[in-house]
Amino acid sequence: MRSLSLILDTFTLCISKQIGFAAMFMQFCLKNVHSFLAALWGWIYMLVSGTQVQQTPVGNISRPETSTKEQKEGSSNQLTTPSSVNYHFTRQCNYKCGFCFHTAKTSFVLPIEEAKRGLRLLKEAGMEKVNFSGGEPFLHERGHFLGELVRYCKQELQLPSVSIVSNGSLITETWFQKYGDYLDILAVSCDSFNEDTNKVIGRGQGRKSHLDKLHRVHNWCRDYKVAFKINSVINTFNVDEDMTEQITALNPVRWKVFQCLIIEGENAGQNSLREAEKFVISDQQFQDFLDRHQSVKCLVPESNQKMRDSYLILDEYMRFLDCREGRKDPSKSILDVGVEEAIKFSGFDEKMFLTRGGKYMWSKADMKLEW
């Protein structure tokens, strides 16, 4: 009888283990169904759109491996809040500015649902302002992709500020009619008020006038209640120009004036798509330009040092880019490791961000502008 009892106990234990294993297996399968379907959807999207991808494990959209010495050794335990994030969701552009420091090295764009997932993660981590940039953000899907992200951030995520930086050439009034309510600030890049200078720089396309489109977009911003901003990169071809009269007439809420910046692998170096060395100006030349325009109240200067350390830049794979070493060292994607882990390798100097006036009245609801 004791033997029979022992046999029955052993049999019962085996059955329990088998049932437990089966339950664990079913749980594992169910847990990964979502990841599998998300990956499958991403592959179908990219195959239909013609985007090339690398083979990756199930559950991950293809993102390049990023592992540098700085990342392995430079992890910080200090928690950084991504209050303002610049999301360069595309590198493609219809202009060829000679100093561009975020060039078209890839045509990759995340599927929109994955981009939204990343934006939600950023909101949950403390993001208050998102700025969409490129490349040229209005190029992909003729601005529809951008518009839907703008709508999502303002309507679904309820962000206080949603902004865009664009060269302005592809913006239409129809876009404003559809998405203008969800946009707080539109910044248009303009480096000169001399059309020939713009063409030498590469800010132009064919016979189209960059300045004519600048004024048209300015008027649309007024008509559809979007705060208008101008960005200018000061370089060897415009450093002696006086833009006071034109900027005063356009009256942007902010005139961001950048010093031409060299980034290894982007606009300088062996693997770069641009050769920006001929555009570089000295710190004194930049200061002379600022002194010449000191009467312009909306001027916001951005030296190279401020630019390298005080921006949270997210690339097309949703990786933070560390520019402290004069190049763009990417973190892991926030879609893979989360915001808190990825932001440790962003190189972001929060004190410099506040010092340069990175946090300002960035919601059009608070600006009390006279439209």
Chunked mean pLDDT (size 10), the chain, 371 residues: 44 44 42 41 41 36 55 54 95 94 91 98 97 97 98 98 98 98 98 96 90 98 97 98 98 96 86 88 97 97 73 94 85 97 86 68 78 57
- Maximum separation of any 2 CA atoms in the chain, in Å: 105
pLDDT at 194: 97
Nearest to 42 by CA among 135, 148, 113, 129: 113
Residues 6+ apart with CB under 8 A from 184: 154, 160, 161, 162, 163, 226, 227, 362, 363, 364, 365
Query: For the purposes of burial, counting CB atoms within 10 Å of the CB of 15, is it exposed (0-12), middle (13-18) or buried (19 or more)?
Result: exposed
**Residue 255, helix vs strand vs coil:** strand
Buried b (16+ CB within 10 A) or exposed e, 176-193: bebbbebbbbbbbbbbbb
Q: Which amino acid is at 280?
A: V
Structural domain boundaries of the chain?
84-229+310-365
pLDDT confidence of residue 80? 85
Would you mind telling me the total number of residues written for the chain in this entry? 371
What is the dihedral sign for C-alpha 120, 122, 126, 127? negative
Residue 112's nearest CA partner among 67, 156, 159 is 156
Question: CA 268 to CA 275: how far, in whole Å?
Answer: 5
Query: Cα–Cα distance between 78 and 17 in angstroms, integer?
Result: 45
For domain 84-229+310-365, the question of CATH label 3.20.20.70 is answered with yes
Q: Which residues pair with 299 in a beta bridge?
A: 255
pLDDT of residue 104: 85
| Token digits of residue 268 | 């300088």
For residues 31 and 175, what is the distance between their CA atoms, to the nearest angstrom? 40
Q: What is the secondary structure of 156-214 as a DSSP string?
A: IS--SEEEEEE-STT--HHHHHHHGGG-SEEEEE---SSHHHHHHHT---TT--HHHHH
Query: What SS3 class is residue 80?
Result: coil
Residue 187 CA to residue 217 CA, distance in Å, equals 10
Element (H, E) at 259: strand 254-259
- What tokens appear for 371 in the block? 């439209």
Place of tokens 């994030």: 85
CA distances from 93 to 143, 204, 292, 350 (A): 13, 11, 32, 30
What pLDDT is attached to residue 13? 42
Half-sphere exposure of 184 (CA within 13 A, CB side): 24
Q: What is the pLDDT of residue 56?
A: 32
Measured CA to CA, the distance from residue 227 to residue 183 in angstroms comes to: 8
Two structure tokens written together for 188: 């248009």
Residue 103 structure tokens: 């060039």
Rounded to the nearest 5°, which phi and psi values hold at 313? -110, 125
Which amino acids are annotated catalytic? 93, 97, 100
79: left (phi over 0), alpha (psi -120 to 50) or beta: beta
d(CA 247, CA 351): 30
Task: Give me the amino acid identity at 25.
Answer: F
